[in-house]
Every structure is written in C-alpha cells, then in structure tokens.
Amino acid sequence: MRTEHLEEPLIKLKIGPQKEEITFLVDTEATRLTVRKPPQGCEVSREHVPVIGVKGEVFQVPVIKNVQIESDKKFGLNYLVLIPEADNNLLGEDLIIDLRIKIAPCERKFKIYSLTEEDNFKISDTVWYTGKEGKLNIQPISIEIQNPEIPIQVKQYPISLEGRKGLKPVVENSVHQGVLESCVSPQNTPSCR
C-alpha cells in the first residue's frame, strides 16, 4: 500500500467481484468511499443517500451495496456512493479507519502506509478507550483565548446522521458518568469536568 512522495495522496484498491484496480484520492474530509462509475460486476442499488457537496449543497446519490474491497492483506465489505460528477474517486474516512491507513506529510508531499500491530503497541495505554469513565490519566491541555470578548467563529463540518447515531450512546454515557455536562456558551462548545 506504500505510496511514496506523491503531490496528492493516491491509493489503489481492488474493488468488486472482478477485483478491478481503482485509484482513489485519499480525502480525510470525505465521509464515504466515492466512485465516479460502478466497479465491474457491481450493481447500483435503488437506494439513495444524501451527501453534501464541496459548495455545501445537499443532493441525493445512489449507493452500491456490499462491495468487496481489498488492500494488501486487508479485505472487507462496504458500500460505495456513486457520484459521476466527482473529479476523483475518493477514499473517505470510513475506509481510512477500516483499512487502518496512516497519512504522513513529508517534505510537502505525502506518505501513505498501513498501521501494523507493532504501531498499536507504540500507542500509550492511557489513550485507549476502556468503556469506563472517560477521564484520561494525563495532564489536561490548557488554552488561553487572546480576546475572550470576541467569540471564536469557525463553522464546523456537518456531521452525518450515521455519525450522530454512532456518537449518541457515547455522549449519553459521558453525561451519565459526569464527564460531560450540558452548557450554553458563546462558543457553543461542550464543557468537560
């Protein structure tokens, strides 16, 4: 999977029953794997899902379900969204996470490689989710706002309905454990204890 020193982070995956090799632009802002045309041997579903385009407009696109995806020694099933108007096939965060891809900037270019089990052991045990109260055994980060009287206004990237459903039990559990509490602030930011 290694792709050294590319201006744009590109990756090739084998897609569908005929294992068609397709090049994707790795896009950490894309939510789902996106293709410009159906892979060989795959059928487009009648189901459509809403997507938000680069200009912020919402539109419906068809999906291709239960598509076989291979990368190096990794294999999985996923669904793709079909957007013929897209400039590139996009590898979204769904597969970046599933395929355990790491993207590293290097001299104004990118390196893309798979995380290994060895990489997992290098990650400190203090940051892994345990299912218990979400307080880490690390020093909290303190940030001072230069002009607190001027609210910080950064438009957040919209979260998908699927993402909201996935976060709901995590947030509810954090509220129940006292890690998060409801608040109203000028910055509309959750408050942690």
15 and 96 assigned to the same domain: yes
pLDDT at 1 over 50: no
pLDDT for 82 equals 94
The mean predicted confidence, pLDDT, of the chain is: 78
**Sequence letter at residue 37:** K
pLDDT for residue 85 is more than 60: yes
Angle of CA points 18, 94, 80, to nearest 5°: 40
Q: Which residue has the higher pLDDT, 190 or 120?
A: 120
Residue-level pLDDT at 153: 66
Same domain, 108 and 52: yes
Q: Does the residue 22 lie in any domain? A: yes
**What pLDDT, on a 0 to 100 scale, did the predictor assign at position 106?**
72
- 30 shares its domain with 80: yes
Q: Please, how many CA atoms are within 13 Å of residue 39, restricted to the half-sphere of its CB?
A: 28
User: Same structural domain for residues 10 and 74?
Assistant: yes
Q: Are residues 22 and 102 in the same domain?
A: yes
The structural domain count of the chain equals 2
Residues 26 and 108 in one domain: yes
**How far is the C-alpha of 125 from the C-alpha of 115, rounded, in Å?**
17
> The domain that contains 83 carries what CATH number?
2.40.70.10
Q: Quote the CA–CA distance of 163 and 182 in Å, as a whole number.
A: 20
Q: What pLDDT, in 10s, does the model give residues 13-63?
A: 999 999 999 999 988 888 889 999 999 999 999 999 998 877 778 899 999
Do 109 and 157 fall into the same domain?
no
pLDDT tens string 118-174:
776 776 766 665 666 655 666 767 777 777 777 666 666 677 888 888 888 888 888
What's the pLDDT at 127?
63
Structure tokens at 189: 């930011």
Q: What is the DSSP pairing of strand 48-52 with strand 58-71?
A: antiparallel
147 located within any domain: no
* 124 within some domain: no
Structural domain including 68 reads: 3-116
- Answer whether residue 37 is part of any domain: yes
The CA distance from 77 to 75, in Å, is 7
- Indicate the pTM of the whole model: 0.56
